[in-house]
Amino acid sequence: MSDHATTPSEPGGDASPSPAIILVEPQLGENIGMVARAMANFGLTNLRLVNPRDGWPNEKAIATASRADHVIRATQVFDKLEHAIGDLSFLYATTARPRDGFKPVHGPVEAGRELRGRERLGQQTGILFGREKFGLSNEEVALADVIVTFPVDPAFSSLNIAQAVLLMSYEWMKAGLERETDTNFRGPEMQPASKEHLHSFIGHLERALDERGYFRPPEKKAKMLDNLRAVFTRPAFAEAEIKVLRGVVSSLDYFSPKQPRGAGYPERKAQADRNALPDDPDA
């Protein structure tokens, strides 16, 4: 098989020296497609294949890539591993089992940070993944600078190739965030409620409960109020949450056991008043 490359295209292109994902002799097109999808999830586009068993391009890979078409189109194919890594200055080899030799071994978190640090220096890096059945040979691992392995259960350490790529892609993306705990979106910024809002709400609640005979027997009211204050002051409510609770308590003001439920709401009361007007005898 001759070396083959296509031009990277949107989204993202290949402008940054982000790590190349190199699959050695992948067997199933479906796995290649799922690898492309995992890469696209975390902004990687540089996929390289060494002697894919079923050739390239592969319709099954395209079908399972789930719109990661830009990764599929940019995929490069090589007949030798040495050619696939020739332009790289630093290479990780993934493996699930101990290897002979003197290579350092990193976990995925450390590897992600290392790759980001080298990216900032403008270095071309790569991560090597082996065959679905038996991974990388010792000779292939020897071509890498460092081994990366995952903290999996030793009794069941086998990972699907797309899972392994997903884990490394995630760690690479996370290491590039301003804070590693960041996400693409957050919940709304909530303005903490002032003590004035909080105490006003508790007073409102006290009056509503008083009118409905909640504080029984009367001599226990002070203790019951203390318990209510403890409940509503501990969580540090946001102002918007206090408004929701005020709305709930306000709804109690429009309810009387002697009326149908909700009959006291302003719009229903106005309608009831209109219905109660006597008919015009001259009509």
DSSP per residue over 130-149, as a string? Answer: -BTTTB--HHHHTTSSEEE-
DSSP 8-class letter at 1: -
Residues 211 and 215: their CA atoms lie apart, in Å, by 9
Q: Is the pLDDT of residue 1 over 70?
A: no
What confidence tens digit (pLDDT) does each residue in 161-202 have?
999 999 999 999 999 888 877 776 777 787 888 888 888 988
Task: Measure Cα distances from 124 to 38, 149, 200 in Å.
Answer: 20, 21, 62
Indicate the domain borders of the chain.
20-175, 195-276
- State the pTM of this model: 0.67
The one-letter amino acid at 12: G
**DSSP string covering 136-187:** --HHHHTTSSEEE-----TTS----HHHHHHHHHHHHHHHTSSSTT--S--P
Domain 20-175 has CATH 3.40.1280.10: yes
Task: Kindly state the average pLDDT of the residues 211-216.
Answer: 83
Please state, in angstroms and rounded to a whole number, the distance separating the CA atoms of residues 173 and 202: 46
The three-state secondary structure class of 233 is: helix
